[in-house]
Structure 1
Amino acid sequence: MTDATRVPLLSMRGISKRFGAVEALVGVDLDVHRHEVVALVGDNGAGKSTLAKMVAGVLSPDTGFIEIDGAPVSIPTPAAARALGVATVFQDLALCDNLDVTSNLFLGRELRDARGVRDDERMEEEARRILRDLTSRIPSVRVPLSNLSKGQRQTVAIARTLIGDPRIVVLDEPTAALSVAQTAEVLVHIEGLRDLGLGVVLISHNMTDVRAVADRIEVLRHGRSNGSFDARTTGYEKILGAITGAVRADTAQPPARVS
């Protein structure tokens, strides 16, 4: 194994965050490698979204440091996160119903030709390529978003993360409120992101979804790390025990890293 494969794509060490008297995160560590889906799980208020927002540049840690590809970085804004190759899909999706699929994918990042004119043809070609890479079932890149199902809208939001060649994708509850069939389609897209070589941080309350696509499960409890588990081999009861506090972090066995 080379040094390059050992270095995490994303590394967070000793991350702490306080909001007034509330300790949202206390000394949390997190690693994400290429070709890896890491799930963050825990009860409401465990600190999952707070940690994800730090990767996305929405919040800054009070203490601790973040590295990308082994280099220390500062992520003070979402724009800084995007420049570092971090793409995020929050629960509200931030899509526009009155625009078609292509316009949603390139919203704010439209491609232009040498004259500075918006290049719709090139954007449509790129949109088709991205949806093809994700094996999407969206019928056309010209269909208005208002005509799509909830699952297809989530697909568009995930596809938009691939604009700009990101390295890390953060997904916040991507299967919430979806049907069984829609959830299955979105999970396939998440696996597609991993197959493309990205590191994926997945926040979810649905343990069935987590165990279906995650390589590793990181449990947060009351803002602290409470176990790292191999998603393929660890039983549901042990993970639930870590979430509820029945299993302590020092009794959880760290999984071998997926190369």
Structure 2
Amino acid sequence: MCGRFSLTATPQEVQELFGLEEIEDFPPRYNIAPTQPILIVAGDLRREEGDNRTDRRALLARWGFLPGWVKDPADFPLLINARSETAAEKASFRAAMRHRRVLIAASGFYEWQRPPKGSKQKSTPYWIKPRQGGIVAFAGLMETYMSADGAEVDTAAVLTVGPNREVAPIHDRMPVVIAPENFPRWLDCLNQEPRHVADLMVPASDDYFEAIRVSDLVNKVANSGPEVQEPAGDDAAVEVEPARPAKRAAKTKAPETPPDQLKLF
């Protein structure tokens, strides 16, 4: 699962990595939560061979996927993640997997390690970021939802996969990471069917991420400054002890998301 992440890179860094012709300024965001706007990249090369221009574009989408056939968002589950293994067959995601694959710009994500069953301890939050720093591109799906009054809103979900060795002691799912050299394949929904990009939906290499224990400040969306990424002690970056495997997170809610964020519609 991915229930919180951050994007603290500059607009210029995002523009360079994703090959965007233009991008609007945005501030660093340290604690992005479900239903908030997230930065996604859509589109890909659509010109003749040898023309290196790109029609990739950056846009904001609500983090919380809404299939077009939903009648009332209030009665529909908040889909912030999609399991990569089954997304191509699921009614909610099937069309987006074929026609609307996107990249989601991030600097890393947060995950909570659950204590052993019966323990009175709280879940322990970790800040999981690329070991070498920089921007990470999550695989995502997009859908433009039209409400009853005709208003349109772009929505998105993060594709997840089983964990690599670094993340496994913390949680049983992690975001799918798309390497820059694979951006064209992932975004090319015109020529690349889901079966053609299935090989990209695998865990990141074991040494790609590092997990840093942080304080429970990150549990509250109101805490949105760099302090949420501060290590929670001198041993914060040591190898974590394996915990009880987390249950499937399809219906798990992100910690303490303010109710007023659900009023986008």
Normalising by structure 2, we get a TM-score of 0.25
Instruction: Report the structure, 1 or 2, having the larger helix content.
Output: 1
